[in-house]
Amino acid sequence: MSSTPYNEETLILLLRKKNEEAFRYLYDHYAAALYGVVLKVVNEQELANDLLQEVFVKIWNRIDSYDPQKGRLFTWMLHIARNTAIDMLRSRAYQQQEKNQSLESNVHIGNSVQMSSAVRVDEIGLKNILNRLSDEQRILIEKAYFKGYTQEEIARELQIPLGTVKTRIRHALRKLRDILQDRNST
């Protein structure tokens, strides 16, 4: 860990001169904060680690574009970190990878149903509730809420009009609400 303290002005000057000691200082003092921002966006540690490296490469390569008149160095780096993470989530490859995972591999673990937040949704009978929907409604809900498809993507994939997708999802959500209300009232 670099122990030489730098004020912001000196740090920026040295980074622009591609001073590796200053870059190590920057990494040592800001990596944890930037990692936290990236992790909050992507919610996956391994991906966040990879993106953090990409963020620092961008900082190294783009330091000449930093303008102290527009804000502090840390704020500029936060924007790079956040935008890099968002760009990854928006990338076609990442979205396709997420969509290609089956509902079974994302939701079923053993005999219980789980979500990424580690909440055991089988305890509320989510699978049974979804099975009470028509096949048409269940497929739409799975694509929209478990696989992250947009309504436009669902319409394209199922080759049905967008308005029909919106109406069917709205009806499916109403039915789910009614099922849950009936379940809670008993």
Can you give the pLDDT at residue 97? Answer: 63
Residue-level pLDDT, tens digit, the chain, 186 residues:
555 688 999 999 999 999 999 999 999 999 999 998 898 888 889 999 999 999 999 999 999 999 999 888 998 999 999 889 888 887 756 566 666 554 444 444 444 333 343 334 444 456 777 788 888 888 888 777 666 678 888 888 889 998 998 899 888 888 888 877 776 666
Domains of the chain: 8-90 (1.10.1740.10), 96-185 (1.10.10.10)
Predicted local distance difference test score (pLDDT) of residue 177: 80
* Per-residue pLDDT at 185: 67
- Position 20 scores a pLDDT of 93
Sign of CA dihedral 111, 116, 118, 122: negative
Taking the CA atoms of the chain, what radius of gyration do you get in angstroms? 23
* Angle made by CA atoms 142, 180, 131, in degrees to the nearest 5: 40
Report how far apart, in Å, the C-alpha atoms of 113 and of each of 104, 139, 175, 176 are: 9, 17, 21, 18
Dihedral sign from CA coordinates of 114, 118, 123, 129: negative
Using a 10 angstrom Cβ sphere, with 0-12 exposed, 13-18 middle and 19 or more buried, the burial of residue 44 is middle
